[in-house]
Every structure is written in C-alpha cells, then in structure tokens.
Amino acid sequence: MKSRNSNDNLNDIRGSIRQGWDEVAGRYTLDRSGIFGRGAARLIELLNPPSNIALLDVGCGSGALTIRAASSSDEDGLVIGSDISIEMLRQSQSASSKKRVKASYCQMDAEFLGFAKASFDVATCAFSLFQFPDMEAALIEMWRVLKPGGRIGLSNWGPGYFTPIASLQRDLFREFKIRPLLNNPLAFNPSQYEGLLTQAGFKGVELIGETDEVWFASPEEVWTFNLDLGPFPIMLRDQLSKDQHRELFNKFNALMDDLMTDQGIKSTFHLLYALGQKEN
C-alpha cells in the first residue's frame, strides 16, 4: 500500500507539502469550522491516556491535539508534537504558551522520526496520514518509537468524506485537469485503513466511524476552508493560470450557490478513527 509516486520525486513532493503548510499556517490555526478541534478532543477521549505518559503527536499541525494532550498531562508526563512545517510549529508553540501548557515541538518528517525506539507510550496522528508520501513508512516509524504495549490513535476522513461538497469539487478539479500532489486517498475505506495499520505491525485494530455536521455561511467560506489546507493553494498556483484560477473560483461558487439554504450550506464530514497497539 505504499505511495505510487516514484522515489525520484518524493523529496520535491515533501518540499511542496512543507511549503504549502508554511504558507497557510496562520489561517489554518483559526480552524474556522471547528472540526479539527472537535476531532482532536474526540481522539483524546477515545484513547483516554493516563496523565503521566509520554505521547508523540505526529503531523501535529496547529497543535490542536498536542495541546489537549498536554493540558491533561502531569509533571511526569511528556507531550511532543512533530511536524514538517516550521510555520505550523511556530503557531503550535505560540498557542501552547498562551494556554500555559507544557508541550515540546520539533520539525521532523513523519517517515523519518528522530527518536530512539521504544520512546513513547502513545503515538497520535490527526488528519495527517494522507499527507505523508509513504504512509506505511510513517506508520512503521510510529510503531518503532512506541514502547511494547504502546498505543496508536489516528483520525482520518472516512467514506463520503465531505458530503456533498467533496464529490462536486472532485468533478470540477477533473474538468480543470488539476492533479493532486499525492496519490494517497483523501478518504479511507475501513479495510484499507485497518490493512495499513496491520501491515505496520499494530494489533487489535479498532475502527470508529462518526460524522460531524458543519454549516458554511456562504460559498466563499467553503472556498476559504479549502484554501486553509496546505496543498490546495500550491496545486492551484502550480497548475492553473490566473484566468483559469478565476474561472475555477467562479464555477465553484456557482455549484455552492445551488446548495445554499436559509441556514447556509450544509455539509457532513465523515470521520474514521483508528486505535491499535504494539504488542508487548
């Protein structure tokens, strides 16, 4: 289940992903829809980690999960967030300082974690797995740095992802021949998800599917939500002319106008959480 991108261009892809998240860091941390904050809280709830454990949050982004984990950690606990984007880490560190929580951050590629084996009791990865060029390598690294008996907790998008907007957006992107940076799935089916974890060495994999309803006030707000996601603006800038970009924006808004109600634009996010364990 490794990425289908050749090894020759993986570094370029990683560079584009890092650049994209560096560019949007300030906007992304706003979490306008609140979905990432709610998802982080739910994953922590499912894991229910003791307060004195060592936890690594891989691809920590804005620190939504890292900060929640650190807020319930005691003096004996250790919480570290890692991310490839230095700007996202700066945002995370700033948020941690404002909330007065004890969390450390480091710039690190998820596929090459710079920690000794058996360093952590828990590894988390919230809405980031599909951003890693080699998802299996990243999961194997998480397995490696976990202590025997350690647990992993993941959140990703499930089947249906972002209903009904995602399918409309996908068709529009095909019309404009916009190519994704990665061939990884944006939304995982349960068997694929479980297979990735099992192949990486995790046992007792448990999957939990849930939904989160979000209302957007306008087509522009939906478009902004997309622009807050790192790879999106990079893809548009690299693959479209300014005129094409404008045309895409206008067509997207027209599609969203058709979904408008008096309450706004209703969307349903499909979330798929995964829990697993490294055997003793």
Residue 105's domain is classified under what CATH number?
Answer: 3.40.50.150
Q: Write the pLDDT tens digit of every residue in 57-110.
A: 999 998 999 999 999 999 999 999 999 999 999 999 999 999 999 999 999 999
pLDDT at 251: 97
Reported pTM: 0.92
- Domain for residue 2, yes or no? no
For 120-171, the pLDDT digits (tens) are 999 999 999 999 999 999 999 999 999 999 999 999 999 999 999 999 999 9
DSSP-assigned beta bridge partners for residue 123: 56, 152
- CA–chain centroid gap for 163, Å, is 18
- What Å distances lie between residue 270 and 45, 195, 214, CA to CA? 18, 19, 11
15-57 pLDDT, tens digit each: 888 888 888 888 887 787 899 999 999 999 999 999 999 999 9
In sign, the C-alpha dihedral spanning 136, 18, 124, 32 is: negative
Give the percent of the chain with pLDDT over 90. 80
Looking at the domain assignment, is residue 154 inside a domain? Answer: yes
Instruction: Give the residue numbers spanning the domain of 253.
Output: 7-277
Q: How many domains does the chain have?
A: 1
Q: What pLDDT sits at residue 126?
A: 96
- Domain assignment of residue 1, yes or no: no
Task: Write down the pLDDT at residue 11.
Answer: 82
